[in-house]
Amino acid sequence: MMDEEKDAVRRKVGKPRKYANRSERQAAHVENLKRKDLKEIQAYVLPEVKDILLSVCEAIGKTQSELLSEILVRFAECRN
């Protein structure tokens, strides 16, 4: 029974939640990411590199997270 409930498709019912402010919304988003077993990474890069990352993401329609994950996976595959 528990497995069925865990695998069941969850449907959103009603209106989206209203957040008191942007920080509350951000906190909810971060909590949701943590539940998905994702890990946070932080990196300091030159502003030009950040601009390149943003423009590539926009051009191919991926998030920064998706693009960086894909790049790292491909890099690891090439090394093996």
pTM value is 0.58
pLDDT score, position 72: 96
- Categorize the per-residue pLDDT at 76 as very low, low, confident or very high, splitting at 50, 70 and 90: very high
Residues 12-55 have pLDDT tens digits of: 677 777 888 888 888 888 888 788 888 889 999 999 999 999 99
Task: For residue 20, report the phi and psi dihedrals to the nearest 5 degrees.
Answer: -65, -40
Q: Judge contact between 61 and 55, C-beta under 8 A.
A: no
Comparison of pLDDT for 16 and 11, the residue scoring more: 16
The total of other beta-carbon atoms located within 10 Å of residue 57's CB is 16
pLDDT at 22: 86
* Per-residue pLDDT at 79 exceeds 70: yes
